[in-house]
Amino acid sequence: MTGSPVWLNFIERKLPWIRGIAIPRIGFLLVTLQALGFLFISMNPLWLERLALIPHEVLENKEYWRLVTLLSLPISDSPIWAFFALWFLFTIVEAIEGVWGDFRTTFFLLISWSVTIAYSLTTGYTVTRATDFESMLFLAGATLFPEAEASLFFIMPIKWKWLGGFTALLQIIQFIRGDWGDRGYLLAIFSSYLLFFGPAALDRIKNYYRRRNWNRR
């Protein structure tokens, strides 16, 4: 599966200028933002509030930097876990970019980022974590490269599809246990994944039922 939807091919043909939004090595940019966020919060926990996407601070106090710094909210407050998570994040985004190229990878990330911002500002939902954004990227990598292997803590090899399955399970549990605000937030975060991989998944489901109905004849 390439995760390259037909609608994106149409956009590229009709709006060729949109390819100008491409950011090369965007994985390096994401990891750098995460590392800086971890460093600032480690030195002073008050930085968590300064970096978080708090809607009323953006709309009323014009603190527009929060639209970007939400991407710097750290995955973990543990230095060891944060290191391994950022290393794996960089590996996955680099792999995705190797298949999709700069533009499609950037566009994929921009959809999730912009929809999350729109959801937060319109509903008042405060974003204080970036773990779900990373989970979305992990799941995308596992979908594209299910048989690829990662060395967990540089020791135990494990296939990406198992990590992706575990990530999906955690997100489903979080969706079920959360309130409607949390559920809307998760749908916003995973919007790019649903748009890129959803059409192919629906096609596979349709084909499965077609074959099953045909075999019953």
φ/ψ of 15, rounded to 5, equals -125, 70
Region 179-203: mean pLDDT is 88
Tokens matching residue 28: 């390096």
Enumerate residues 6+ apart whose C-beta is below 8 A from 97: 25, 26, 27, 105
Q: Please tell me which residue, 53 or 146, carries the higher pLDDT value.
A: 53
Question: Tokens in use for 69?
Answer: 């710094």
Residue 217: predicted pLDDT: 61
pLDDT of res. 198: 80
Determine the pLDDT at residue 203.
67
* Mean of all residue pLDDT scores within the chain: 86
Interacting residues of 152 by C-beta distance below 8 A, sequence separation 6+: 158
Least confident of 6-10, 49-53, 68-72, 193-197: 6-10
Answering whether pTM is above 0.75, one says yes
User: 2 falls in which pLDDT band (50, 70, 90)?
Assistant: low
- State the residue for tokens 């994040």: 89
Domain ranges of the chain: 9-211
- d(CA 17, CA 19) in angstroms, rounded, equals 5
Using alpha carbons only, give the angle 193, 136, 190 rounded to the nearest 5 degrees. Answer: 45
Contact residues for 108 (Cβ-Cβ < 8 A; gap 6+): 96, 100, 140, 192, 196
State in words which class domain 9-211 has.
mainly alpha
* Cβ atoms 90, 137 nearer than 8 A: no
Confidence of residue 169 (pLDDT cuts 50, 70, 90): very high
